[in-house]
A = this chain, B = another copy of it.
Amino acid sequence: MSATLHGVNPRTGEPGPQIPESTADELDAVIAAATQAAGDPRLAEAGRRAAMLRAAAARLRARRAEIVELAGGETGLPAARLDGELERTAVQLEMLGDVVAAGDHLEVIIDPADAGAAPVPRPDVRRMLFPIGPVAVFGASNFPLAFSTAGGDTASALAAGCPVVVKGHPAHPRTGTLVAQLLTEAAAEAGLPEGTFGHVLESGFALAERLVRDDRIEAVAFTGSFRGGRAIAEHAANRARPIPVYAEMGSLNPLIVTEAALRARAAHIADGLAASVSTFGGQLCTKPGIALFPAGAEGDAFCELMGDRLGAAAPQVLLTKAIADGFAAGLAAVDAAPGVTRVGQRTGNGDGSEIFAAAAPTAYRADAAALSAAALRDEHFGPAIILVAYSDASELLEALGSLGGQLAISIHSEPADADWVRSILPACVAQAGRIVFDGFSTGVSVCWAMMHGGPYPASSDAAATSVGMTAIQRFLRPVAFQNAPDALLPAALRDDNPLGVRRRVDGVLD
């Protein structure tokens, strides 16, 4: 009798149907197929990979209603959000298909032989990027589509030419299984080998560890908690043959607001910040968990506004009971910390007691000294924010520094603050992957320039992004060909550039 798992509707507590867990043998077969696919010349054809990514997008859209309903039942997320997330997932697959078709991601560099080079003659050296091999992907609970089975990690690894083995998230197993089926169909439609995409499911961590430790796996992409990411990174670092881990582990995403900004538009900022904190249960890795406001009358008024806004917000359905319990425990620790007070009174519709996995949006107020308590520097995954007063730039920077690496830092200021902002900007750059001006860190645009990652502990690799077109770089590595006959070169490196890719030749980008 094999083990089973099932999702749970976090709004009602109703369990979903039982689904068989994968066995160790099944995992082994999936990895074996991925390894086989990694060496298959069909996977090396950019055209086939682009076709697969586009076919996957089309198949997701074709099953939109079914996927949105399944995911809604398993995650408690509203249909409109899931509908948008499905579209984002599809667009991301298509955009990466376009990148692969264009070929710029190969980063071709050609140094023709130069007998006159100093200090010694230079041979002909040509370099491009190649896929690293089978990639293990661990999806997140909070984006059952865009950061899960067919999410950015899967899309960018496939785009790079790497077979993918997804360890499906047990909180949305039916959604993941359906999406996995669509990816498998898309691979077949594009004529790609069977092992191009594989999917396993488990409720615990045994298969996950086995997957990370398997010598045939060349990299791991993960989106989730710090604890999960750190455990995976340690498994990977302690292999006989360590491999890179690209773990995006969330962060506090501090928001900084100046007195002038509050004077000009406190209500506007409070509206936006409250929405950024509470929407979708505040379960976004870019949710602002800390806001740094100027001590004084403007700051006091802002705290009141935030208390009003969040107190009036409806209780939220969280993704799982475990997340709701963890959130409650985290807030209990904040409540117990010295120098912290809850802001505002709950005035919204009810306390959420009719929801199985509920959380009420909450704001705290503290002064910078209170940040010495670890509970205030922990990420609280849910609709809560801690408002921290600063007296000047130096106290602000000290508070910021105590929070460690961040995915994003947001700064709300007025043009008159420009010099002040300039004075704190280098510290923000040193500490975060993205700086948002007069806006909110939630909402991570899928575009070329996006950076979704940051210094540890936000990410395990501060130089990697899991969103945007450069996410593909994580799954590629350079190989140089020295004095190769033209006939033996990969097409992108040949003299006549048959693929028409952009190249740096003799030091100059064409």
Contacts and interface: CB of A to CB of B under 8 A. Distances in A.
Interface stretch (A65-73, A184-192, A475-483): A475-483
Contacts of A132: 462-463
A58 interface: no
A79 interface: no
A490 to B, nearest CB: 8
Interface stretch (A9-17, A84-92, A317-325): A84-92
A311 to B, nearest CB: 29
A432 B479 contact: yes
Nearest to A242: B456
Contacts of A118: 87, 91
Nearest to A431: B479
Interface in A414-436: 415, 418, 421-422, 425-427, 429-430, 432-436
Q: Most chain-B Cβ atoms within 10 A of its Cβ — which of A433, A449, A478?
A: A449
Contact of A480 (B405, B434, B480, B484): B434
Interface string A45-79: 00000000000000000000000000000000000
A465 interface: yes
A234 interface: yes
B435 A480 contact: yes
Interface residues of A, number: 85
Contacts of A244: 461, 463
A457 interface: yes
Contact of A123 (B415, B445, B457): B445
B463 A478 contact: yes
Contacts of A242: 233, 237, 456, 460
Contact of A449 (B125, B421, B430, B434): B125
A456 B488 contact: no
A111 B447 contact: yes
Interface string A103-127: 0100001110000011110110111
Interface stretch (A22-30, A200-208, A384-392, A502-510): A502-510
A304 interface: no
Contacts of A430: 38-39, 130, 133
A476 B433 CA distance: 12
Contacts of A484: 435, 437
Contacts of A335: none
A224 interface: no
B120 A84 contact: yes
Q: Most chain-B Cβ atoms within 10 A of its Cβ — which of A126, A404, A439, A445?
A: A445
Contacts of A461: 244
A67 to B, nearest CB: 15
A451 interface: yes
A487 interface: yes
Contact of A451 (B127, B432, B507): B127
Nearest to A404: B241
A438 interface: yes
Contacts of A84: 119-120
Contacts of A435: 479-482, 484
A418 B487 CA distance: 8
A450 interface: yes
A443 interface: yes
Contact of A119 (B88, B110, B437, B487): B88
Interface in A451-498: 451, 455-457, 460-463, 465, 469-470, 476-485, 487-488
A456 B244 CA distance: 11
A364 to B, nearest CB: 26
B479 A429 contact: yes
A303 B451 CA distance: 54
Contact of A477 (B39, B462, B502, B507): B462
B111 A449 contact: yes
A135 to B, nearest CB: 13
A84 B121 CA distance: 12
A484 B127 CA distance: 35
A39 B449 contact: no
A436 B488 CA distance: 12
Contacts of A415: 485, 487
Contacts of A109: 448-449, 470
Contact of A445 (B122, B436, B456): B122
Query: 10 closest A-B pairs (Cβ-Cβ)?
Result: A237-B237, A451-B480, A87-B119, A127-B449, A463-B477, A109-B449, A125-B449, A111-B447, A111-B449, A434-B480
Given A132-B463, A418-B485, A502-B509, 14 more contacts: A39-B426, A41-B426, A91-B118, A123-B443, A125-B450, A127-B450, A132-B462, A237-B237, A241-B404, A415-B487, A429-B479, A437-B482, A439-B482, A448-B507
